[in-house]
């Protein structure tokens, strides 16, 4: 039997972990108290992590793995291949019974600064986004509704309201749209990027820091779909740092990226 490619492995394992999370949640029934929700979250994190570690280790025994739920090891800094995994991104939303949680799996090859084999599985939405997907160019910016920017519900950028006003003015001045700009919140980073891919939003902005496992798979999937992920200043995000911390991130529709970066810069000045 032919060996699965890295991308196929990533997709298959993420989907298997996603189904595990759905089945686990179904065994809990209605979650109506904090202790039950926290127990579900802890079990989901642990069981999805263990499954992914087992599958990746068996299929690619020479590779290093960085997982949110695993113990970090600086030996990964010299690895030729590093899997970056979030077994359950959007843990809070998962415990609430919501659909905006995800499983993230990506592969980083430090020698060429190559991010590949990226998968964002959204099991409660019955949807998997992968670099294996056949894609078209992003649709034009909408003109029948406001441009939408996705942000964290609990930690939105402090300057984002000012940036939204500046961006709305720039879009109107450029004759692109006079419908304005609005902010929406979604859980997992993978779910946020999916809102952009699905055409329900046009950008994602985060500037209060998070971790490589939050970012890697959504970053690669967004790029595959023709959107533009980067740091807020436009520089590329690099992975396999110690600690594995990412200071900020934007993901943007290509027709919006320059105006968005300019608005964010002016809002901070």
Query: For residue range 103-133, what is the model confidence (pLDDT) as tens digits?
Result: 999 999 999 999 999 999 999 999 999 999 9
Residues 120, 183, single domain; the answer is: no
* Residue 221 near residue 120 (C-beta atoms within 8 A): yes
Q: How many CB atoms lie within 10 A of CB 5?
A: 12
Residues 122, 33, single domain; the answer is: yes
Number of domains observed in the structure of the chain: 2
* pLDDT band of 1, cuts 50, 70, 90: very low
In this prediction the pTM is 0.96
Q: How far apart are CA 252 and CA 223, in angstroms?
A: 10
* Residue 52 near residue 85 (C-beta atoms within 8 A): yes
Burial class (CB in 10 A: 0-12, 13-18, 19+), 180: middle
Q: How far apart are CA 31 and CA 28, in angstroms?
A: 7
Query: Can you give the residue range of the structural domain that contains 251?
Result: 147-268
Residues 103, 210, single domain; the answer is: no
Please give the DSSP secondary-structure letter assigned to residue 71: P
Q: Is residue 117 part of a domain?
A: yes
CATH code at position 91: 3.30.540.10
Last residue within a domain, chosen from 75, 101, 130: 130
Q: Is residue 257 part of a domain?
A: yes
Q: Is residue 141 part of a domain?
A: no
pLDDT digits (tens, 9 = 90+) for 19-37: 999 999 999 888 888 999 9
Residues 77, 14, single domain; the answer is: yes
Last residue within a domain, chosen from 99, 130, 161: 130
């Amino acid at each position: 039997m032919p060996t699965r490619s890295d991308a196929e492995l990533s997709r298959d394992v993420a989907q298997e972990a996603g189904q595990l999370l759905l089945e686990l949640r179904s065994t809990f029934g209605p979650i109506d108290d904090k202790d039950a929700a926290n127990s579900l979250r802890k079990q989901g994190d642990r069981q999805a992590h263990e499954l992914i570690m087992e599958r990746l280790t068996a299929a690619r025994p020479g590779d290093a793995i960085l997982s949110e739920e695993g113990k970090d090891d600086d030996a990964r800094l010299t690895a030729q291949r590093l899997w970056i995994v979030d077994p359950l991104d959007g843990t809070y939303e998962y415990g609430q019974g919501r659909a905006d949680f995800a499983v993230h799996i990506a592969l980083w090859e430090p020698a060429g600064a190559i991010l590949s084999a990226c998968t964002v599985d959204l099991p409660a939405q019955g949807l998997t986004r992968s670099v294996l997907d056949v894609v078209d160019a992003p649709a034009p910016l909408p003109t029948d509704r406001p441009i939408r920017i996705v942000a964290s519900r609990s930690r939105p950028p402090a300057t984002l309201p000012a940036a939204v006003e500046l961006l709305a003015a720039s879009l109107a001045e450029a004759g692109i749209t006079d419908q304005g700009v609005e902010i929406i919140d979604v859980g997992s980073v993978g779910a946020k990027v999916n809102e952009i891919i699905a055409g329900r939003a046009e950008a994602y902005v985060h500037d209060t820091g998070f971790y490589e496992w939050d970012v890697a798979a959504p970053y690669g999937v967004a790029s595959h779909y023709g959107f533009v992920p980067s740091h807020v200043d436009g520089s590329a995000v690099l992975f396999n740092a110690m600690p594995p911390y990412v200071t900020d991130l934007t993901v943007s529709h290509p027709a919006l990226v320059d105006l968005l970066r300019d608005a964010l810069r002016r809002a901070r000045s």
